[in-house]
Structure 1
Amino acid sequence: MRRKLAAGNWKMNGTGAALSELQTLEQSHPAPTVDILICPPATLIHRAAQTVGDSIAIGGQDCHAERSGAHTGDISAEMLKDAGATHVILGHSERREDHGEQDEDVRAKARAAMDAGLVAIICVGESLEQREAANTLDIIGGQLSGSVPDQSTGENLVIAYEPIWAIGTGKVPTLDEIGEVHDFIRARLERRFGEGVGRSVRLLYGGSVKPANAAEIFGVSNVDGALVGGASLKAGDFSGIISALEQA
């Protein structure tokens, strides 16, 4: 059985004062029946890891493909691991769009993350134009082929489907649309890695997930949890999503 995962991506939000939200979240879920992950900005990773116990994992939002070197401003997977991270988000649409990251860049970063002992959460998703042109599955298939390393297993890989047009917009695909993509991803993973690995990789949905719509999303086939943006910044909001996942 795949253990469900509620992951929060704080993006470029939060200073030291925000760590109190982690304490509140931990008090609300002292013995969770799902995995809980918070990915704060890099400046907070070490302090966040020191703040929480075993009930909440801490992750990064990106890493460099190289272990070290002349890469001013970048952070290696080993550095994230050393700071207390156990996971790292890679290939988020904001990285792909704002920083021009290509599938091969994401693949190299994921390989570095896995080599460092981190779980790589690789994001895939289509734009509104691609969705309207009925190209969604072709886009997702290409991103999976190009971004996911050959060394992937159910222990070191998580896939997050985040339709770009739904991130932070309040728009959410229909349940059938979410199910179609998640079933497609599952089938692609099984075909590439075999049923054992393919069925063990957790698939998350991301894009305007809130306490109000979480339960119905978590009832969709092959949705093993969520990658949550804005709603993860406040413990009260994220707690509702976690509770919905625990009841799914």
Structure 2
Amino acid sequence: MIDLGVPNEKILLGAQQTIYMVGISLIIGTIIGAVMAVVLVLTRKDGIRPNKIVYGILNAVINVVRSVPFIILMVFIMPLTKVIVGTRIGTPAAIVPLVVFIAPYLARLMESSLLEVNRGIVEAAQSMGATTFQIIWHFLLPESSGSLILALTTGAIGLLGATAMAGAIGAGGVGDLALTYGYERMNFPLMLFTVVVLIIFVQLIQALGNFLSRRLRHK
């Protein structure tokens, strides 16, 4: 048995913190990202509800946020984090920058998924008198569900990598174990172990995403 130099309880806590950060951030980020993606699709030039101003502003905001590296974004919005969760450090504090990081990213992926839907389906729905909400809920989302699941899978994997950098504000997680107890203390076995754990997480997320996507595409 290899001695990792860290109590098993700390390793288990790190795994739990990573799952917590990825899970909560993905749920909130998905809701926000989905709203932004739908608005982008609706208000684009050839959309159902064209609106040059709304599309231009939202498109610019998404581009700006996505262009900022996560570590810089995390530090820059610390005042906002303090206002929302009452602290700038710890696992809960990492949720805010993670959501701000992943929401625009998911918005772009979801936008692409929604735009893949055959325009003829939307036109058919309009000819039947469907409202904008009905077109979104009963046509766009169901038709693009398989692709949307893959977008969420990609987002979850991206979040997993971001949680490692969240260790800079004491957020914990597997990545923080690798940096604090592995790299800084030159503990190679621990670094290797955390890499393996992260690889397993990625494989499980990707496998689940692929499975759900196939099921939805076959329906």
Q: TM-score higher than 0.5 here?
A: no
What range is the shorter-chain TM-score in?
A: under 0.3
Of structures 1 and 2, the larger Rg is shown by 2
Structure with the bigger RCO (C-alpha within 8 Å, sep 6+) is 2
**What's the TM-score, normalizing by structure 1?**
0.24
TM-score by length of 2: 0.26
